[in-house]
Structure 1
Amino acid sequence: MKGLYIGSTGPWAGKNLAAMAVGLWLQREGLRVGYMKPLGARPKTVDEIVGDEDAFFVQEVLGLEDDPALVTPVITPANLRTCSLADRKNEMERVREAYETLSRGRDIMLVGGCGEFLHSGRHAGISGPALVRRLGLKALVVDRYDGALHYDALLGYREVLGDALAGVLFNDVPEDYLRDAEEMLVPYLSEHGIPALGIVPRDRLLNAIKAVELAWRLGGRIVSGNRESGRIVEDFLIGTMQVDNFMSHFKQHANSATIVGGDRTDLQLVALEGQCPCLILTGNITPDEIIRTRSEARGVPVIVVREDTYTVARKMEEILNSQKLRELVKIRRAAQMVDNTMDYPALKAQLGF
């Protein structure tokens, strides 16, 4: 029986995406696939059983129905006062027993990481490297572009893991960085014993969010355009410039929500006439009747939030970067993108099949 640990250089990098895509591919290859996520950071209760939200979802996509207590034997408490960290010095044996139980009758186990590969889980003795060593796993590391790719971290992982590092999957790489990644970074990492198994290009749809969920995440309320609250937001613009400049800038960014002060009726009208998918008004200022009427006519939801424009823009960036794959259309699209780029034969060889 083989085992593959899926870790990452940071949070929200695409570990779940990799687990689902790889798991579905292995199943199509006729292999019996199991899954676990030893450390959970997003507690969720289903039928009075506590598990990890991400683990529940990955299991559902892979068609698995294993006991959540085995799938995620260690859950980080939301409130530290409810559990002493000192009592969690070493949870490795509990994880190992769960792994052995889940692996019975399976050809391969996928082990999902939590947070950053090197450090997350150290308080419980179940960091990524510790799990790879104790359970005899290979490791696939997902590295998501966030202004750069993290080759120094990957070199460090190679030093720690040696040949147990099966390779790296680069994720969310923008078009203007793809050539550098392919022609410079991939050969460099290969020389240092780190196979680059794939480069997934950026796709705005995968980080998109519905306006109604965006309102909830921002702590705001939709005051008009409710019938179109399911519109998709892929990016955002900040309306703090002159109207003429804003109009030309706005036309170049389709499907971008517009964040603008509640007192800037002029920019609000420009955004509405330009068919922005969502208008976000800051400063807790309710729009006037003209804006409400136009938003209803154009089918553009208007969200009112309390914070200032700068604060809301920072929240928006975090929300879009941390979007979880939860919709079936996104999962299919993302899995196909991974399939298009992943060197599955090389991964299979690394696993020893």
Structure 2
Amino acid sequence: MKSIYLLSAQPYSGKSLIIVGLGLHFQEEGLQVGYFKPFGTAIKGEAGSSKQEVVSPALMASQKGGIEEDAYSVKEVLGLKEAIEKICPVLVTRELISNILSAPPAGEAGKSKENFLEKITTNFNSVAKGKDLVFIDGAGDFSEGCIFDLPVEKIVEITKSKVILVLKYEQDIILDILLRAKDIFKDNFLGAIINYVPLSQIDYFTDVILPYLEKRKIEIFAFFPKDILLAAVTVREIVEHLNAQVLCGKDKLDELVENFTVGAMHPEHALRYFRKIANKAVITGGDRADIQLAALETATKCLILTGNLRPDSLVLCKAVDLGIPMLSVAYDTFTTVELIEEITKKIPFHGARKIERMKELFKTKFDFKKFKTLLGI
């Protein structure tokens, strides 16, 4: 069995997306693939938090039930049979952190400290049993896990993993991160995958950055350009994320939204502005019939009406005729935009079209020959 620990140093770098792409590829080759996420992330802004952050109802529901959202999605896409509690054994909550901070030192009477090492080791071994490859959805930065006395290096050691760094392209900044990773993990550092490379930066990346990394013996298995389809979200995902009421267009909920815009401008400028943006969702007040009508005249995938206000009957009839979903949400426009930013940063990776696109990108962009050679499979 070979274990690959995927690490990042940035939020929303696309680790889970990469795991799905690799997992599907190797499943098609006939290998038994496993997936493990030692630490899952729970809701931000729980009771007692100094900063109450906006959290989507869908995310809140999943995590209150003890389910880590990314881990559950990967499990479903890869068709894995293991229980989610084994795949992701430690769900990091504010309560858990508080218990660790208030626990007495080892050896003293009182509340005992949970044995996280044993919990992660036992569940990893269970998930890895009978597998050819196990992908570990690792830390979002190099310091994660220290409060549990299980830093990244320790997890890599106990799982006997090779490390792949998944980075979001940020020009020269990624060089420091890559060099640091090679220094930390030494022979266990396999290489890196770079995500979201802008088309304007591809020549610079291939002509300048790649030759430098080759000199430093840092392998790059793939660099993926920004992809419109993978970055898009469905209307259905928006509905679930915002707990929205669908006023019309229920048969169009699988349409893909590529852009979001707020309709708060003067009506006479709205039509000209909306025509410049394709495949969009327009966020506007439920009482802004003028903006809603302008949006319906252009390439709009859905209207998101804020303030829990129903639209004018004329607008609703026009949306029905055009087959464009209208969604009503209880939040104000500012809060709705915050929630939309949450879903666009954390790109959902399920859906037949996205999965097929991922397979296509991995077949054309990922160096599987180099990967298998270095991994020894």
| TM-score, normalising length: structure 1 | 0.84
Deviation at 1:330, TM superposition (A): 1.7
More moved, 93-102 vs 198-207: 93-102
Unaligned residue ranges in structure 1 (runs of 5+): none
8 Å Cα contact 2:166/2:195 also seen in 1: yes
8 Å Cα contact 2:278/2:300 also seen in 1: yes
CA distance in 2, matches of 1:89, 1:320: 35
1:40 counterpart SS class: strand
2:9 alignment counterpart: 9
Amino acid paired to 1:274: T
What is the correspondence of 1:39-188 to structure 2 with a 5 Å cutoff? 39-41=39-41, 52-77=68-93, 79-80=95-96, 84=100, 86=103, 91-114=116-139, 116-145=140-169, 150-188=174-212
Deviation at 1:42, TM superposition (A): 5.7
CA distance in 2, matches of 1:141, 1:278: 37
What is the correspondence of 1:249-264 to structure 2 with a 5 Å cutoff? 249-264=273-288
2:300 counterpart SS class: coil
| TM-score, normalising length: structure 2 | 0.79
Amino acid paired to 1:299: G
Pair 130,28 (structure 1): closer, same or farther in 2 beyond 3 Å? same
Deviation by residue 1:144-174 (Cα, 9 ceiling, x = unmatched): 3479964433332222112322111112333
Residue 22 of structure 2 corresponds to residue 22 of structure 1 = yes
1:345 counterpart SS class: helix
2:328 alignment counterpart: 304
Pair 285,176 (structure 1): closer, same or farther in 2 beyond 3 Å? farther
Amino acid paired to 1:189: L
8 Å Cα contact 2:233/2:348 also seen in 1: no
Pair 149,230 (structure 1): closer, same or farther in 2 beyond 3 Å? farther
8 Å Cα contact 1:37/1:113 also seen in 2: yes
Residue 366 of structure 2 corresponds to residue 342 of structure 1 = yes
CA distance in 1, matches of 2:219, 2:281: 38
* TM-align CA RMSD: 3.3
More moved, 261-270 vs 166-175: 261-270
1:303 counterpart SS class: strand
1:221 alignment counterpart: 245
2:147 counterpart SS class: helix
CA distance in 1, matches of 2:237, 2:35: 29
2:300 alignment counterpart: 276
1:232 alignment counterpart: 256
Deviation at 1:17, TM superposition (A): 2.1
8 Å Cα contact 2:145/2:152 also seen in 1: yes
Pair 145,295 (structure 1): closer, same or farther in 2 beyond 3 Å? farther
Amino acid paired to 1:73: P
CA distance in 2, matches of 1:155, 1:281: 47
Residue 319 of structure 2 corresponds to residue 295 of structure 1 = yes
CA distance in 1, matches of 2:156, 2:145: 13
Deviation by residue 1:5-57 (Cα, 9 ceiling, x = unmatched): 112233432222222222233344444433322223369999xx966443344
Amino acid paired to 2:323: G
Deviation at 1:222, TM superposition (A): 3.1
Deviation by residue 1:206-247 (Cα, 9 ceiling, x = unmatched): 233332431342344333444534433222122233455443
8 Å Cα contact 1:158/1:165 also seen in 2: yes
Amino acid paired to 1:93: E
Residue 211 of structure 2 corresponds to residue 195 of structure 1 = no
2:150 counterpart SS class: coil
8 Å Cα contact 1:73/1:95 also seen in 2: yes
Unaligned residue ranges in structure 2 (runs of 5+): 44-58, 104-111
Pair 260,348 (structure 1): closer, same or farther in 2 beyond 3 Å? same
1:36 alignment counterpart: 36
More moved, 86-95 vs 232-241: 86-95
2:316 counterpart SS class: helix
2:212 counterpart SS class: helix
CA distance in 2, matches of 1:211, 1:33: 31
8 Å Cα contact 2:229/2:357 also seen in 1: no
1:258 counterpart SS class: strand
CA distance in 1, matches of 2:178, 2:340: 29
CA distance in 1, matches of 2:202, 2:252: 35
CA distance in 1, matches of 2:246, 2:171: 32
CA distance in 1, matches of 2:5, 2:376: 14
CA distance in 2, matches of 1:271, 1:174: 29
Amino acid paired to 1:342: F
